[in-house]
A = this chain, B = another copy of it.
Amino acid sequence: MNTQQTAEGAARPAGRPRSEKAERSIIEATLDLLGEGIGVSELSIESIASRAGVGKTTIYRRWSNKEDLVVDALATLKPPIPLPQGGTVRDDLVTYLRVIQEETRHARTRCIMNIAMSDSERHPRLAERFRELAVEPRRAVVAAVLRHGMDTGELRADLDVDMALALLSGAMVWLTKWSDGHSPADLPERIVDEALKGFRPRPAE
């Protein structure tokens, strides 16, 4: 009985359908502004509408508040790299950090990371969404790499995977943040090697 091809199966609600293009450009404008360093709280609906070439009405019709819009915008971010786990664990880890380093070069990524980090208290749903979209998938992939290494014996059998992940990612973010802008190209290698060796002297290698 449903003559339209709406995916949901629900009847099409008569009248002019909402423009997918408008929706996309609204979300794009939102990410755009966030990427320019505008914080969530300073982000105004009017600036989004203007940037997207859209009436405010069109935005208010779809989202009842700003946070919902930003959540949906974040949802369009794809975890861009699944990491091609090819060689040794060391190489995979270096590749992983290199991806982080590369992304940090783009202002857009950097700003969105900042938002996720600092607005986590005031906008918990946002932080949760970001974690679910950007953090968790990667965590899972790298955790698999680490476990693989533990199986083959390249890594300690009793390694704490979450701790190892935190050491690597944390160091990368930390150094990038406090290292006067641009980080040296060999940073990923150095972090991984230092983490693999540990701080204590090694009796024999």
Q: Which residues of A contact B (CB under 8 A)?
A: 37, 39, 41-42, 107, 110-111, 114-115, 117-118, 120-122, 131, 135, 146, 149, 153-157, 159-160, 162-164, 166-167, 169-175, 177-178, 190-191, 194-205
Contacts and interface: CB of A to CB of B under 8 A. Distances in A.
Contacts of A202: 156, 198, 202-203
A162 B176 CA distance: 12
10 contacts: A39-B41, A114-B118, A120-B177, A146-B199, A156-B201, A162-B175, A167-B171, A167-B195, A195-B198, A203-B203
A124 B180 CA distance: 10
Give 10 closest A-B pairs by Cβ, nearest first. A198-B198, A170-B170, A170-B174, A118-B118, A114-B118, A170-B171, A166-B171, A167-B171, A163-B194, A166-B174
Contacts of A177: 117, 120
A160 B194 contact: yes
A204 B201 CA distance: 11
A199 B155 contact: yes
A160 B187 CA distance: 12
A129 to B, nearest CB: 14
A41 to B, nearest CB: 5
A178 to B, nearest CB: 6
Contact of A154 (B170, B198, B200): B200
Contacts of A122: 37
Given A117-B117, A156-B198, A198-B199, 13 more contacts: A39-B39, A111-B121, A114-B121, A146-B199, A155-B201, A156-B197, A156-B200, A163-B171, A163-B175, A166-B175, A167-B171, A203-B204, A203-B205
